[in-house]
Amino acid sequence: MELKIITHERVVFEGETDEIVIQTKTGQMGILKDRLPITTVLDIGVTKIKQGESYRYFATMGGVFQFKDNVATILTDVCEDGRDIDITRANAAKNRAEARLADTAAKIDTQRAQAALARALARLKAALGK
């Protein structure tokens, strides 16, 4: 089946895949060839694709997934190939977000800090191939 991952800036991935695993708002979902059509909202997480015997991982920051006639499309604001993610930088972002959430005395936007933590964790998982 064909997969295209598109952001506002570029096509992050375009190619044939044997399997796609996405993170939806209700949990993980696996997509195989000849599946019934579906459109769903993506959550912050990792998109995993299988090509032959190898896997690729992408940190996907929400968006929309559509599958029809063995063509899958992901439209997202931000998507990063796990091979391009700086693990040190992602760890630093994770640590900053955790520190913000742990500081009960500070007045912070909790939802924003939780989203920052989710993005950092998605990047780390994609970079580490999880």
The residue ranges of every structural domain in the chain are 2-82, 85-128
* Residue 129 and residue 85 in contact, taking contact as beta carbons nearer than 8 Å: no
What is the CATH topology of the domain spanning 85-128?
1.20.5
Asked whether this chain's domains 2-82 and 85-128 adopt the same fold, the reply is no
The Cα 91–Cα 22 span in angstroms is 23
pLDDT digits (tens, 9 = 90+) for 18-61: 999 999 999 999 999 999 999 999 999 999 999 999 999 999 99
The Cα 100–Cα 107 span in angstroms is 9
Cα 125 to Cα 13, 16, 25, 67, 105: the distances in Å are 18, 23, 18, 24, 30
- Please report, rounded to a whole number, the percentage of residues in the chain having pLDDT higher than 90: 85
Q: pTM of the predicted model, to two decimals?
A: 0.90
CATH of 2-82, one of 3.40.250.10, 3.30.1490.20, 2.60.15.10, 2.60.120.10: 2.60.15.10
E strand or H helix that includes residue 6: strand 2-6
